[in-house]
Amino acid sequence: MAMTMHVDVVSAERSLFSGLAEFLVAPAEMGEVGVYPRHTPLITRIKPGTVRLKLPDHDEEELIYVSGGLLEIQPQVVTILADTAVRGRDLDEVKAQEAKQRAEEVMRDRSAAMDYAKAQSELAEAVAQLHAIQRLRKQK
């Protein structure tokens, strides 16, 4: 049996995952971070993207979209505190595509700096959601 660690993925609304994983990959601010049991302790911010979990006795990875937040790693426990988190299978491609288009339109307009910054953030989230949906399709 492979070594495992306990992983919790929690958003402001609810707990999305609590259980054992053989490894996980998270979208840290400076790039993806791969985590195995006994990883060196670390705290980092995460950006919009996909958390991938390899669960014991499962061939496919569990995918969870996160919009940002914090990742805390301890040798046997990993906690992801996400601003927003959605299971990959629950993502809505049409809504993500529409959000991406709206954000791109606002960015082209550039009428207000505040709207532009917000549009940049929304665009990053929409693109990350679409990327998660594509990754989920590849698994199937």
Mean pLDDT by 10 residues, the chain (140 residues): 91 92 95 95 93 92 90 96 83 70 71 64 74 70
- Decide: 135 and 50 in contact? Cβ < 8 Å: yes
The pLDDT assigned to 42 comes to 95
Report the DSSP pairing between strands 5-11 and 77-82. Answer: parallel
pTM over 0.75: no
19: β partners: 7
The pLDDT assigned to 7 comes to 97
The pLDDT assigned to 1 comes to 62
The pLDDT assigned to 101 comes to 75
* DSSP H or E segment with residue 83: none
